[in-house]
Amino acid sequence: MQAGEESQAVEEAPPETTKPRPKRRGKVTVFDNWCKGCGLCVAFCPRKVFELGPEGHPVVVHEERCTACNWCVYHCPDFAIVVELVEDGEQERKTGQAVGGRVRR
């Protein structure tokens, strides 16, 4: 690359990169039978979506706050959390599984 090419590349960025990011939210499901109750998701969800329930499993108490960042999905040691991405304006998908954000199997 010759001198001056880098600054020219920045100036000619395609217009789509300047679009605002869509608002993301997530539909959160916890599979209680897979969850060992370590509490990681309750402690570290950046949006405080979960609270610890009476049985030691996380309960989804503020799903409206979820940004579908997937931190809980990637860090849950038991793969007990599923987050479905819901784009702004999209209807939440009805899977028939998630009832009150908790599932027993």
Residues in touch with ligand SF4 (CB under 6 A): 26, 28, 30, 35-41, 45-47, 49, 58, 66-72, 76-78, 80-81, 83
CB of 82 vs ligand SF4, minimal distance in Å = 10
Of residues 80 and 86, the one with the C-beta less far from ligand SF4:
80
Residue 99 phi/psi, 5° resolution? Answer: -120, 110
| Residue whose CB is less far from ligand SF4, 5 or 64 | 64
CB 84 within 8 A of CB 27: yes
**Shorter beta-carbon distance to ligand SF4: residue 83 or 98:** 83
**Could you tell me which residues are beta bridge partners of residue 30?**
81, 102
Exposed, middle or buried: residue 62 (CB in 10 Å: 0-12, 13-18, 19+)?
A: middle
